[in-house]
Structure 1
Amino acid sequence: MLSGYSDFDYLKSAIQLGVKDYLLKPVARAELNELLGKLAEEIRQEQQKLQASRQALLQKNEQLRLLQENFFAANGQGRVVQLGGDQGTAAAAPADPADGG
């Protein structure tokens, strides 16, 4: 936030709206450049976090798709699918005739 007012009610309102910093006019060029650099870095880091989250979501969706394919393929062949391991992999086992399957 950049302001020529020394009335800090504006500052309070700005903070409530999510302002990252406050500069009082007249602002020194070096101070402005430093703040802009800091904000640019924060934006870059946030973009990296979002990209990592998107990548993780895509991987989880692919794992889910593979699990679903394995489940339906195994059940279509009269087998029971048992989930195992931390990887979320599916392993097919012969159906137990006593279970009706």
Structure 2
Amino acid sequence: MSKITIVAKITIKEEFTNEVYPLLVDLHTSTLENDDGFIQYDLHKDLDNKNSFIFIETWENNEFLEIHMKKEHFQLFVKNTENKLENLEITKLEKI
């Protein structure tokens, strides 16, 4: 099975920036510490929009990605950011 690359662009609603930013950092740290199968898992801040962040991830395969999405730290992030994001755009890629 092929490696999977994820580009997840997250824009936080202005009034929730201070609350959601630490959740992004926690998700990043928890994934690095607790997940298997990632090759790259980087969090970036958009220099043109202070409320926009991008995860760039590469996973060994889709199975590891699916396991990541079921982990407690990922589910907690989803729950705690509900209705606090202006936009969430996830692009799932396979290298040719």
Which is higher, the Rg of structure 1 or of structure 2? Answer: 1
- Structure with larger RCO (C-alpha < 8 A, sep 6+): 2
TM-score range, shorter chain: under 0.3
Task: Write 1 or 2 for the structure with the bigger share of helix.
Answer: 1
Task: Write 1 or 2 for the structure with the bigger share of strand.
Answer: 2
TM-score by length of 2: 0.24
